[in-house]
Amino acid sequence: MIFDLESRQVPNALTLTVLIGAGCFAVYRGDWAVVVLTIALIFLSDLRFRKVQVALSFILAGAAFAVQPATGWLCVAEMGVWLLWLLGKMGGADVKLILGSLLLTAQPAILLPIFFLGGVQGLLALFRKQEEIPFVVSIFAGSLWYLIGSFH
Protein backbone atom coordinates (compact mmCIF):
# COMPACT_ATOMS: atom_id res chain seq x y z
CA MET A 1 0.00 0.00 0.00
CA ILE A 2 2.89 2.33 0.79
CA PHE A 3 4.32 1.90 -2.71
CA ASP A 4 0.96 2.75 -4.32
CA LEU A 5 0.53 5.83 -2.12
CA GLU A 6 4.05 7.14 -2.72
CA SER A 7 4.72 6.35 -6.37
CA ARG A 8 1.55 4.77 -7.85
CA GLN A 9 3.79 1.77 -8.68
CA VAL A 10 3.68 -1.53 -6.80
CA PRO A 11 6.63 -3.87 -7.35
CA ASN A 12 5.75 -6.93 -9.40
CA ALA A 13 7.61 -9.14 -6.93
CA LEU A 14 5.16 -8.18 -4.16
CA THR A 15 1.98 -8.69 -6.15
CA LEU A 16 3.16 -11.93 -7.74
CA THR A 17 4.16 -13.28 -4.33
CA VAL A 18 0.64 -12.63 -3.06
CA LEU A 19 -0.92 -14.18 -6.16
CA ILE A 20 1.31 -17.27 -6.13
CA GLY A 21 0.85 -17.81 -2.39
CA ALA A 22 -2.92 -17.47 -2.65
CA GLY A 23 -2.91 -19.80 -5.65
CA CYS A 24 -0.98 -22.44 -3.73
CA PHE A 25 -3.42 -22.15 -0.84
CA ALA A 26 -6.39 -22.46 -3.22
CA VAL A 27 -4.90 -25.63 -4.74
CA TYR A 28 -4.33 -27.00 -1.24
CA ARG A 29 -7.97 -26.24 -0.44
CA GLY A 30 -9.02 -28.09 -3.59
CA ASP A 31 -10.01 -25.13 -5.78
CA TRP A 32 -7.58 -26.04 -8.56
CA ALA A 33 -9.85 -25.12 -11.50
CA VAL A 34 -9.94 -21.45 -10.56
CA VAL A 35 -6.15 -21.45 -10.18
CA VAL A 36 -5.81 -22.93 -13.66
CA LEU A 37 -8.19 -20.21 -14.88
CA THR A 38 -5.99 -17.56 -13.25
CA ILE A 39 -2.88 -18.90 -14.95
CA ALA A 40 -4.70 -19.13 -18.29
CA LEU A 41 -5.95 -15.52 -18.00
CA ILE A 42 -2.40 -14.35 -17.32
CA PHE A 43 -1.18 -16.05 -20.49
CA LEU A 44 -4.24 -14.81 -22.39
CA SER A 45 -3.19 -11.26 -21.50
CA ASP A 46 -0.30 -11.56 -23.96
CA LEU A 47 -2.57 -12.01 -26.99
CA ARG A 48 -2.87 -9.00 -29.27
CA PHE A 49 -6.52 -9.10 -30.28
CA ARG A 50 -9.00 -7.96 -27.63
CA LYS A 51 -11.98 -9.77 -29.16
CA VAL A 52 -10.05 -13.03 -29.08
CA GLN A 53 -9.01 -12.38 -25.47
CA VAL A 54 -12.60 -11.73 -24.39
CA ALA A 55 -13.99 -14.75 -26.26
CA LEU A 56 -11.32 -17.06 -24.88
CA SER A 57 -11.80 -15.72 -21.34
CA PHE A 58 -15.50 -16.66 -21.47
CA ILE A 59 -14.62 -20.11 -22.83
CA LEU A 60 -11.96 -20.64 -20.16
CA ALA A 61 -14.24 -19.51 -17.33
CA GLY A 62 -17.00 -21.77 -18.64
CA ALA A 63 -14.59 -24.71 -18.83
CA ALA A 64 -13.35 -24.09 -15.28
CA PHE A 65 -16.96 -23.98 -14.08
CA ALA A 66 -17.82 -27.16 -15.99
CA VAL A 67 -14.86 -29.04 -14.53
CA GLN A 68 -15.35 -27.81 -10.96
CA PRO A 69 -18.88 -26.36 -10.54
CA ALA A 70 -18.28 -25.41 -6.89
CA THR A 71 -15.95 -22.64 -8.08
CA GLY A 72 -18.43 -21.17 -10.56
CA TRP A 73 -19.02 -17.80 -8.90
CA LEU A 74 -15.35 -17.51 -8.11
CA CYS A 75 -14.52 -18.05 -11.80
CA VAL A 76 -17.07 -15.39 -12.81
CA ALA A 77 -15.62 -12.93 -10.29
CA GLU A 78 -12.08 -13.59 -11.48
CA MET A 79 -13.01 -13.14 -15.09
CA GLY A 80 -14.85 -9.89 -14.29
CA VAL A 81 -11.84 -8.44 -12.49
CA TRP A 82 -9.55 -9.52 -15.34
CA LEU A 83 -11.88 -7.88 -17.88
CA LEU A 84 -11.71 -4.61 -15.90
CA TRP A 85 -7.94 -4.74 -16.33
CA LEU A 86 -8.25 -5.63 -20.02
CA LEU A 87 -10.49 -2.59 -20.56
CA GLY A 88 -7.96 -0.35 -18.80
CA LYS A 89 -10.16 0.34 -15.77
CA MET A 90 -7.71 -1.15 -13.25
CA GLY A 91 -3.96 -1.47 -12.98
CA GLY A 92 -2.08 -4.74 -13.10
CA ALA A 93 -1.02 -4.63 -9.45
CA ASP A 94 -4.61 -3.98 -8.39
CA VAL A 95 -5.87 -6.95 -10.37
CA LYS A 96 -3.19 -9.30 -9.05
CA LEU A 97 -3.99 -8.31 -5.47
CA ILE A 98 -7.74 -8.71 -5.98
CA LEU A 99 -7.26 -12.08 -7.67
CA GLY A 100 -5.06 -13.05 -4.72
CA SER A 101 -7.84 -12.04 -2.31
CA LEU A 102 -10.36 -14.07 -4.29
CA LEU A 103 -8.10 -17.13 -4.35
CA LEU A 104 -7.26 -16.79 -0.67
CA THR A 105 -10.83 -16.48 0.58
CA ALA A 106 -12.70 -18.37 -2.19
CA GLN A 107 -15.50 -15.85 -1.60
CA PRO A 108 -16.57 -13.54 -4.43
CA ALA A 109 -18.37 -11.45 -1.80
CA ILE A 110 -14.97 -10.01 -0.85
CA LEU A 111 -15.37 -7.79 -3.92
CA LEU A 112 -18.30 -5.91 -2.34
CA PRO A 113 -16.36 -4.02 0.36
CA ILE A 114 -13.36 -3.59 -1.96
CA PHE A 115 -15.43 -1.96 -4.70
CA PHE A 116 -17.59 -0.01 -2.23
CA LEU A 117 -14.51 1.55 -0.65
CA GLY A 118 -13.04 2.07 -4.12
CA GLY A 119 -16.18 4.00 -5.05
CA VAL A 120 -15.89 6.16 -1.94
CA GLN A 121 -12.23 6.73 -2.71
CA GLY A 122 -13.15 7.58 -6.31
CA LEU A 123 -15.75 10.14 -5.19
CA LEU A 124 -13.21 11.78 -2.90
CA ALA A 125 -10.75 11.91 -5.80
CA LEU A 126 -13.43 13.45 -8.01
CA PHE A 127 -14.01 16.25 -5.50
CA ARG A 128 -10.26 16.77 -5.24
CA LYS A 129 -9.95 16.74 -9.04
CA GLN A 130 -7.54 13.79 -8.98
CA GLU A 131 -7.38 11.64 -12.10
CA GLU A 132 -6.09 8.48 -10.42
CA ILE A 133 -6.50 6.86 -7.04
CA PRO A 134 -4.19 4.48 -5.18
CA PHE A 135 -6.68 1.59 -5.37
CA VAL A 136 -4.48 -0.71 -3.28
CA VAL A 137 -5.78 1.25 -0.27
CA SER A 138 -9.34 0.13 -1.07
CA ILE A 139 -8.19 -3.43 -1.76
CA PHE A 140 -6.43 -3.63 1.59
CA ALA A 141 -9.19 -1.91 3.60
CA GLY A 142 -12.00 -3.78 1.83
CA SER A 143 -10.31 -7.16 2.28
CA LEU A 144 -9.67 -6.40 5.94
CA TRP A 145 -13.29 -5.27 6.41
CA TYR A 146 -14.54 -8.49 4.81
CA LEU A 147 -12.23 -10.72 6.84
CA ILE A 148 -13.07 -9.05 10.14
CA GLY A 149 -16.78 -9.24 9.33
CA SER A 150 -16.60 -12.93 8.47
CA PHE A 151 -15.21 -13.81 11.92
CA HIS A 152 -18.46 -12.80 13.60
Which range of residues forms the domain containing residue 92?
2-108
Separation between Cα atoms, residue 37 and residue 23, nearest integer Å: 11
Look at residue 133 and tell me if it is in a domain: no
Q: How many domains does the chain have?
A: 1
Residue 21's CB: how many other CB atoms inside 10 A?
Answer: 13
How large is the average pLDDT for residues 84-105? 91
Separation between Cα atoms, residue 122 and residue 132, nearest integer Å: 8
Question: How confident is the model over 4-62, as pLDDT tens digits?
Answer: 656 667 777 888 898 999 999 999 999 999 999 999 998 888 888 888 888 999 999 99
Look at residue 48 and tell me if it is in a domain: yes
Query: Exposed (0-12), middle (13-18) or buried (19+): which is 75, by Cβ within 10 Å?
Result: buried
Q: What are phi and psi of 2, to 5 degrees?
A: -60, -40
pTM of the model: 0.88
Question: How confident is the model over 48-81, as pLDDT tens digits?
Answer: 888 888 899 999 999 999 999 999 999 999 999 9
Look at residue 14 and tell me if it is in a domain: yes
